[in-house]
């Protein structure tokens, strides 16, 4: 095993480069995966919480809707989780596809378990963060409550401020968390690949 003049093996450099390559790739496709590939329905409904019965479009179900066997209703929180999970799956799928394409183009062949480990991190964390309440709770615990309350956007004159969409503190914290966790997913993928390369 050859070493560089800094005492680092060529194998270690190969996997350090892999981690950097994956991190860069995940960052490069973040906007595509998080904005362009997200269904509008998921973007709107993934933050729903509670036990109120709603139709699949997120509108509150009437008694007639609930009684009608042809109208599907679910709890708001269930619909929120389903939409967040679907978005998490599409986001993770875009990231995985880009990662596999770039690494294969550059001659890396990673074991499936490495891809599974990194993709699992992305899928779970992206889904939980996009439910909004967990991220808001963490932000408040870290002293970001004032930031959440003041960095809001009024989208239509006369309406209440939006606390969660683009231009808000919650949106910025969401994006920062996704990007940081993308680095974690990249490093874990590279580490698991390295362990399988012994």
- Which is nearest to 103 in space by CA: 197, 195, 20, 11? 20
Burial of 91: CB neighbours in 10 Å, binned 0-12, 13-18, 19+: buried
CA torsion 31-33-39-45 (nearest 10°) is: -80
Residues 126-185: tens digit of each pLDDT: 999 999 999 999 999 999 999 999 999 999 999 999 898 899 999 999 999 999 999 999
For the chain, the maximum distance between any two Cα atoms, rounded to a whole number of angstroms, is 76
Q: What digits encode the pLDDT tens for the residues 76-106?
A: 999 999 999 999 999 999 999 999 999 999 9
């Amino acid at each position: 095993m050859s070493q560089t003049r800094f005492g680092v093996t060529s194998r270690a450099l190969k996997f350090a480069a892999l981690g950097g390559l994956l991190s860069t790739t995940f960052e490069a496709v973040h906007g595509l995966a998080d904005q362009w590939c997200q269904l509008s329905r998921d973007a709107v409904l993934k933050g729903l919480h509670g036990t109120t019965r709603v139709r699949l479009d997120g509108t509150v179900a009437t008694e007639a809707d609930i009684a009608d066997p042809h109208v599907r209703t679910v709890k708001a929180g269930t619909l929120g989780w389903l939409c967040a999970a679907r978005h998490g799956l599409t986001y993770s799928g875009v990231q995985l596809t880009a990662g596999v394409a770039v690494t294969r183009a550059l001659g890396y062949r990673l074991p499936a378990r490495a891809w599974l480990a990194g993709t699992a991190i992305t899928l779970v964390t992206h889904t939980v963060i996009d439910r909004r309440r967990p991220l808001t709770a963490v932000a408040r615990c870290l002293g970001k409550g004032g930031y959440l309350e003041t960095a809001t956007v009024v989208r239509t004159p006369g309406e209440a401020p939006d606390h969660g969409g683009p231009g808000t503190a919650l949106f910025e914290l969401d994006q920062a968390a996704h990007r940081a966790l993308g680095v974690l997913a990249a490093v874990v993928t590279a580490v698991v690949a390295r362990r399988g390369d012994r």
